[in-house]
Amino acid sequence: MIRLLLVLLLTGMALAQLPDSGLEATPASPLSLEAALSEAAGNSPAIREAEARVQEAIYGVDEAGAPGKPRVDFSAGYQYLTPTLSFSGLPVVVNNNYEFAVGLQQTLADFGRLHWATASAELRQRSLTEKVRRQKEDLAMQVRQAYAGLLFARQSLTVASDLVAAQKAHVQVVETRLKAGAVPRYDMLSSQAALARAEEQLVTARSQESLARQRLLMLLGRSLEQPLELADWPAEMALPDLAEGATRALVERPELTALNWAVEAARARVHLEESQDNPALSFATRYAQRNETAFQNSSLWSAGVLFSVPLFDGGASEARANQAEAVVVQLGESQEKLRRLVALEVQESYQQLLTASEQLRLSSARLEQTTEGLRIARLRYQTGVSINQEVLDAESAQSQARLDRHRAELALRSGWARWLRVCSVNAGPAVEPAPAPPR
């Protein structure tokens, strides 16, 4: 046993002396916003669900077109009969009876049923395709806002940490001056109270950073406990053109294009229901092989053409057509309502960008002022010109100004995320509109 331990120890020491192979673990590169958008889109259950609905609609198109294709049937049967019966020595009823048959049916003309059923299914598929695009745009906005939210939470955490460090340093300054008899004990108590408040803010900032990180990890489809490093936010863009954004939104918004296709599908449904009263022409043929008796041959082949005309169905087709017409009216009103809502959303999003941009400019100027004010307040206190509360107020004001500037950046970035969603930017082209079916 001792010999075995000695061998293992010597082996370990020898391996430790081997030269480094150079295959060191490279740290993970920070996650960029574009990479986050791509990763979230690839791991989104909502997008996969919407795409599965489109696939279901594609199969629905195949189902709608199936009646226009030939139908081939095979049948086989066996029957045992007793007693047997014969006439003049010819078998009429026998014990073992069998039949094998193959049949084919083909619709020659249905006068609109197949056309409108297929058109309705195809238009519904296009409507669902636009809903996939809507899911992608919604997810992109959520990822952008969560990414900006995590950056803000980490900036807030930095501000809180810096404030705690500044308060600790100030407590040491007050303690030194208190020992020298230059300030009253009240200065020490007020400084320690300010430090305690800053530490409470730091605890809150840590909690908010953790929640913001988990929110983004959830959208990415990763484990909520996984660490996450982010790259800087992309360069800010200039303010957009309001008229161009409004025009694009009314053309590209997936909700509107999906509703447009839904209206066309409803109109096709009206024609489909109206075509139920049209005649139908079909061809059918059948070949059968069976046991031979006195009154039936061993094989049978038949072929024929069937022409049918619905005469009266109790008004069911007309009622269904009227229902489909009412659906068209409802969807048309929904279109108008959605257009108005989209126009309002564009205005609101644009005003949000303007407000956030102005707030960022003002908060940046205020940060410069409070930073200079803090420098002067500390200098005045160290020279005995001002009181302790002036330094505490200046540190609090400068910390709040930093936080307000970061908050203004968050508002501007969130505003951009909403603007891109409202105007359907960077989400793929809409399905090309098709002409309305003739009425």
What is the pLDDT confidence band of residue 433, given thresholds at 50, 70 and 90?
very low
Q: Is the pLDDT of residue 98 over 70?
A: yes
Q: How many CA atoms lie within 13 A of 391 on its CB side?
A: 27
Distance of CA 405 to the CA centre of its chain: 31
DSSP 154-222: HHHHHHHHHHHHHHHHHHHHHHHHHHTTSS-HHHHHHHHHHHHHHHHHHHHHHHHHHHHHHHHHHHHT-
Residue 9: per-residue pLDDT: 52
Residue 338: per-residue pLDDT: 95
SS3 label, residue 402:
helix
Residue 13: per-residue pLDDT: 53
| C-alpha distance from residue 399 to each of 34, 158, 360, 391, 395 (Å) | 31, 10, 16, 12, 6
Closest CA to 235 of 6, 25, 34, 20: 34
Lowest mean pLDDT among 9-23, 115-129, 155-169, 301-315: 9-23
Percent of the chain with pLDDT over 70: 90
What is the pLDDT confidence band of residue 298, given thresholds at 50, 70 and 90?
confident
Residue 236: per-residue pLDDT: 73
Question: What's the pTM?
Answer: 0.81
350's tokens: 């644009």
Residue 27: per-residue pLDDT: 56
| Domain boundaries defined on the chain | 32-73+111-281+314-422
Residue 400: per-residue pLDDT: 93
153's tokens: 């939470």
Residue 90: per-residue pLDDT: 83
What is the pLDDT confidence band of residue 25, given thresholds at 50, 70 and 90?
very low
pLDDT tens for 205-244 read 999 999 999 999 999 999 999 999 999 999 877 889 999 9
315's tokens: 């008004």
Q: Is the peptide bond before 429 cis (omega within 30 degrees of 0)?
A: no
What CATH superfamily classification does 32-73+111-281+314-422 receive?
A: Outer membrane efflux proteins (OEP) (1.20.1600.10)
SS3 label, residue 425:
coil
Residue 438: per-residue pLDDT: 37
Sequence-distant (6+) residues with CB within 8 A of 285 are: 103, 104, 301, 302, 303, 304
SS3 label, residue 385:
coil
Residue 173: per-residue pLDDT: 87
Q: Which residue has the higher pLDDT, 89 or 147?
A: 147
Residue 4: per-residue pLDDT: 47
Question: Of the segments 14-23, 347-356, 391-400, which one has the largest average pLDDT value?
Answer: 347-356
Nearest 5°: CA angle at 332, between 326 and 338? 135
Cβ–Cβ contacts within 10 Å for residue 14, how many? 9
Residue 432: per-residue pLDDT: 45
| C-alpha distance from residue 233 to each of 277, 352, 423 (Å) | 63, 19, 21
SS3 label, residue 430:
coil
Q: What kind and span of H or E run contains 284?
A: strand 280-290
pLDDT tens for 268-297 read 999 999 898 899 999 999 999 998 887 888
pLDDT tens for 146-204 read 999 999 999 999 999 999 999 899 899 888 888 888 888 998 999 999 999 999 999 99
Residue 269: per-residue pLDDT: 93
DSSP-based helix, strand, coil % in the chain, nearest 5: 65, 15, 20
Q: Is the pLDDT of residue 145 over 60?
A: yes
Nearest 5°: CA angle at 423, between 421 and 426? 65
Residue 429: per-residue pLDDT: 43
Residue 294: per-residue pLDDT: 79
Cβ–Cβ contacts within 10 Å for residue 86, how many? 12
Distance, in Å, from the CA atom of 355 to the CA atom of 415, rounded to the nearest integer, reads 9
Q: Is the pLDDT of residue 50 over 90?
A: yes
Q: How many residues does the chain have?
A: 439
Q: What kind and span of H or E run contains 138?
A: helix 113-179
* DSSP 8-state assignment for residue 43: T
321's tokens: 């057509």
Q: What kind and span of H or E run contains 108?
A: strand 96-109
DSSP 45-105: HHHHHHHHHHHHHHHHHHHHHGGGS-EEEEEEEEEE--S-EEETTEEEE-SEEEEEEEEEE
Tell me the mean pLDDT in the region 397-402.
93
What is the pLDDT confidence band of residue 425, given thresholds at 50, 70 and 90?
confident
